[in-house]
Every structure is written in structure tokens, then in C-alpha cells.
Amino acid sequence: LSSIQLYECFRALCCKGPPPPRPEYDLVCIGLTGSGKTSLLSQLCSESPENIVSTTGFSIKAVPFQNAILNIKELGGADNIRKYWSRYYQGSQGVIFVLDSASSEDDLETARNELHSALQHPQLCTLPFLILANHQDKPAARSVQEIKKYFELEPLARGKRWILKPCSLDDMEAVKDSFSLLINLLEERDFEPSRM
């Protein structure tokens, strides 16, 4: 190798500098108690699935992905907490809504009402939504098509950016793929010209 080639090799190896920082996005994660929010987020953070307790107030997790870091504020889904959800929406750049696709009709109706409220909330209505139909591994689970129809997503969310995906703890790769799609929507939003 000539001295010029050695210099070029040295520069390529040593002078590249640190990789550019990954963008960070602040997200809110909502859904009824028992929908699996805490379990999904814990698995994404590679935390032990044992000792998972339902979130009673809220918790924040930084979930690292290859091309972004998601700071996810998970809000508890109990009746007495849901009425306070909107107090935690400010500053959110995207929404994750987790629903139990194998839940009772009553719980599914409640989840539908909560999702409709979120989609229409002034602080969330322009944000990208990732809707996860969780517990697809359960026999009573409804399909994504059934969920989409029951939740009336086509007419309600027309013109909004949303993704509806099936998921379960058995297939975390599919969950990660769903989050990657959400990151793509967040990145697209970053490059949109600001509206005057």
C-alpha cells in the first residue's frame, strides 16, 4: 500500500467521527387496562416479562430502535384514570393505541369510544396513530378486518395517518415492524413544510 492509500484507510477508520444522533420522538401510549400496553413496551425494552404490573398512573420508557429513540409515555387504562388522559397529551408527536382484540363486547365498545375520542382530540388529531390489535394469539381474537370495521376506522380516520396492525407477545418481530412503520410516519412528518 502506498502512503496515500494508508492515509485514506486511516482517515476512513479514525476520522469518521461519531454517528449522527438518532432522532427522538415523544409518544403517548393509551388503551384500556389489560390490553397489554405494559407487556409490549417491556418486551420492546428487553425487560423481563415476569413481575409486570398494570400501570396505575403513567410510566415513561425510552425504546431504542435502529433509526430512532421513542420516548413513550404509557398512561394507565383504568376507568378512574382515563378521564385524565388528555392532561398528558401535550407535546406528543404520535400515538400508540393498544386494544385487546379478544376482549368482551363491552370492553371493545369502550375501547372504540376511547380511540374515537383520541382521534378527534385537538392535541392528537393531526398526529400519526399506531393502533395495535393485541392478543392475536388468543382463540377469541378478532381479525384486523373485523376490528377495522367495528371501530369504523375508514370513515372516522379518513385523511389521518394511522396504521392498524395485529400483534401478540409471541411475535415481537411483527411488533417491531409495526413500530418501524410508525417511525416512518414520524420522519415524514418531520420533513413536511411547516404550515403558515
Numbered residues of the known binding site for GTP = 31-38, 77, 134-137
* Annotated binding-site ranges: 31-38, 55, 77, 134-137
Beta-strand relationship, 58-64 and 69-75? antiparallel
Among 41, 18, 166, CA closest to 101: 166
User: Measured between alpha carbons, how far is 133 from 75 in angstroms, rounded to an integer?
Assistant: 17
H/E run at residue 87: none
User: Do the Cβ atoms of 76 and 90 come closer than 8 Å?
Assistant: no
**Alpha helices, DSSP H, located in the chain:** 3-14, 37-44, 79-82, 105-120, 144-150, 153-156, 172-191
* Annotated binding-site ranges for Mg(2+): 38, 55
Cβ-count burial 49-58 (b if 16+ within 10 Å, e if not) = eeeeeebeeb
